[in-house]
Amino acid sequence: MMGPMRPVIITANWKMNTSPADAGQLARSIADATDVAGVTRIICPPYVALAAVGEALAGTDVAVGAQNVHAESKGAYTGEISASMLAGLVTWCIIGHSERRRDQLESDMLIGYKIVRLMEAGIRPMLCVGELLEEREGGRAIETVQAQLRGALEVIVNAGHSVPTDLVIAYEPVWAIGTGKTASGKDAAEMADAIRATLAELTSPAHADATPVLYGGSVTSASIGEFLDEVAIDGALVGGASLKPDEMAGIVARAGITAAARAAA
């Protein structure tokens, strides 16, 4: 499957922002401002706002996602949320975000088990990978990301499963998150190619070609075009800008242009 046949996906990661009282209204405002044909839209609010956002988005085609999930299906894990608890509330889940790798010391193996739990619950995983500044400056960016991908996906295979065909990869260079810096479109495309090369080794070339790769790292309406100009990039994982309906409108509008071009190709 050629790159233009992959879907164009824009995911909003609200991180630790909003409350149940205001999240629904914000989600509906974003849905109304981003009603663009051909673009898959996903909003990932905090756990406590999932129900409110789901209700607000009823009747739209905007999907709801979670920002994390626990690696076990149940047990004595105070304060944690299992995949089975999320089933019915979300259809997507972000895993392996760089902030969790950094703050909760999440390993590739742990992240792999999270994918297994999501597969069991029928929730679509969005796996984040990305390198630190020192890894990029040391010429190890591709090596680092490929190791993260192998480390997570080999857990799935070793557990007796196939790598899910609905997997989405979000490439987020860690040095470009919350800093105002962004990688270039060329950098992101090069990494997307490396990601698919690794997927091809672990699965098949067809599986790799069909897997969407998003860019995440201080994405704005002003910067999104550079990334969507690259055929290897299929959308964006949006952080701070996803809390602003006007910014999301600009991002999704530009994504719509790419989606229309792919549909016409």
* Alpha-carbon gap, residue 165 to 210, rounded angstroms: 8
Q: Please, what's the b/e burial string for 43-81 (b: 16 or more CB within 10 A of its CB; e: otherwise)?
A: bbbbeebbbbbbebbeeeebbbbbbbbbbeeeeeeeeeb
Which residues face 234 on adjacent strands? none
Q: Helix, strand or coil for residue 185?
A: helix
Which DSSP symbol is given to 61? Answer: S
- Enumerate the active-site residues: 97, 172
Is residue 217 within 8 Å of 183, Cβ to Cβ?
A: yes
* Alpha-carbon gap, residue 215 to 182, rounded angstroms: 10
DSSP 187-212: HHHHHHHHHHHHHHHHS-HHHHHHS-
* Alpha-carbon gap, residue 151 to 158, rounded angstroms: 11
- Helices 141-158 and 108-121, packing angle to 10 deg: 50
Write the burial class of residue 91 (CB in 10 Å: 0-12 exposed, 13-18 middle, 19+ buried).
middle
